[in-house]
Amino acid sequence: MAQSKYTTHLGMVDILPDEVRKWQYLENLIRQEAHKFNFEEIRTPIMEQTELIVRGLGQLTDIVSKEIFAFSRGEDNYVLRPELTAPVVRAYVEHHLGQRGGSQKLFYIGPMFRAERPQKGRQRQFHQFGLEVLGSSDAVADAEVIAFMIHIYNKIGIKNTTLKINSIGDPESRDKYKEALKAHLKPNFDKLSDVSKKRFEKNPLRILDSKEEEDQPFIETAPVITDFLNDDSVNHYNKVKDYLSELGISFEEDPYLVRGMDYYTQTAFELISPDLGAQDALAGGGRYDLLVEEIGGQPTPAVGFAAGMERLLIACEELGIVLGDEKSVDVYIVTLGDAARKWGLAQLPKLRSNGISATMDYMGRSMKAQMKDANRENARFAIIVGENELKEGKFTFRNMTESEEESLTFDDILGKF
């Protein structure tokens, strides 16, 4: 086959029709289940102001320092959204969503952009679904957010997962921990990776997330944040664990779990799958009690998670889980001759308005080729019409799976559905 002159950008993937059916199934499931949890969908623009993402996620995070697609046009700085928590918080503040009363329970589905080095489970345009609860500091919100995340994977049949949780405390606890961590790392500062050296002063917590070989010995022996939590943070963390147990959700505590964005406070969690290989995180999230204020709103506690949809689909493939149905159509009208073709075209709207999916040949093919096409399209039934059928007002109605035929009027055919 001739090579295409134009291709997608590196790490950006076309989702072709056979794949789209899986995506639609997944998206429908997410919407339906979010509705059961009483969450409302929010949709924000693909592009945001660069400053929002820099302020929201943190200047020194990998995403902001290395991975954003940003450009300017006139006076404005645009960034392709790398995640949706900061944009949702922006929308919450901009539209005073807090004034709707109660906590805002929002969900989203959509594409995100990060200029990472592509590999299996890591793309430059990828998709996430996620939840955000704004306006609740109660551990019930943390537990419900985690419960929804697990629920989606369970519902699909991905059960072999590990939920890791941690508390990174409030700023007071975290400041104490940062000092202890720096004291631990300082004697070996020269042996740390360059990235970690850079993070040492401004953002030492991120060193715990380093994948660099030379950092590992110092991470393994580092003090743990849970020893530095103040009473409020300990209480919150204990409640989250208690509620998860109440819900029958098992978890592993990982005191070195820190997440990729600076906005997190208190609860942090990640869902890991052994079926994914190197990129083993299915989803992750946590509390971000200070972000709304950081972005210019009133102090508003919040918690959420984001899940990678490509990784969910990879896990399905590994586990042999098939999402969605095969391509199919209810009726294929097979015609012989011009008059029959015109008749067929005129019946399509009638079938469709009765809730029956229907199609016919668009290529002027022979009857035999049309039957073949009906099979290829996985038609459940064919209506076969030639000059005689038109004259008599009775048409061959063929059940394609049973290979059985009847001669029926068009009204009788409609009555079959």
Which tokens go with 48? Answer: 């945001």
Residue 247 binding ligand AMP, by CB under 6 A: no
Residue 281 binding ligand AMP, by CB under 6 A: yes
Residue 126 binding ligand AMP, by CB under 6 A: yes
Residue 334 binding ligand AMP, by CB under 6 A: no
In sequence order, the 6+-apart residues with CB closer than 8 A to the CB of 42 are 88, 91, 106, 107, 108
Residue 48 binding ligand AMP, by CB under 6 A: no
Choose the binding region for ligand AMP from 28-36, 88-96, 277-285, 376-384 (rule: CB under 6 A): 277-285
Choose the binding region for ligand AMP from 19-27, 208-216, 302-310, 332-340 (rule: CB under 6 A): 302-310
Task: Please say which residue, 122 or 394, places its beta carbon nearer to ligand AMP.
Answer: 122
Task: Please list every residue from 168 through 197 that binds ligand AMP, using CB under 6 A.
Answer: none
- 107 phi and psi, to 5 degrees? -135, 160
Of 278, 327, 284, 322, nearest to 303 by C-alpha is 284
Residue 282 binding ligand AMP, by CB under 6 A: yes
To 5 degrees, how large is the angle CA 198–CA 180–CA 67?
Answer: 30
Task: Please say which residue, 20 or 345, places its beta carbon nearer to ligand AMP.
Answer: 20
Task: Please say which residue, 280 or 330, places its beta carbon nearer to ligand AMP.
Answer: 280
Largest CA distance in the chain: 96
Least CB distance to ligand AMP at residue 283 (A): 5
Task: Please say which residue, 122 or 176, places its beta carbon nearer to ligand AMP.
Answer: 122
Which tokens go with 309? Answer: 């949809």
Task: Please say which residue, 132 or 361, places its beta carbon nearer to ligand AMP.
Answer: 132
Least CB distance to ligand AMP at residue 82 (A): 8
To 5 degrees, how large is the angle CA 194–CA 181–CA 240?
Answer: 115
Of 171, 179, 340, nearest to 263 by C-alpha is 171
The enclosing H or E element of 360 equals strand 358-360
Residue 308 binding ligand AMP, by CB under 6 A: yes
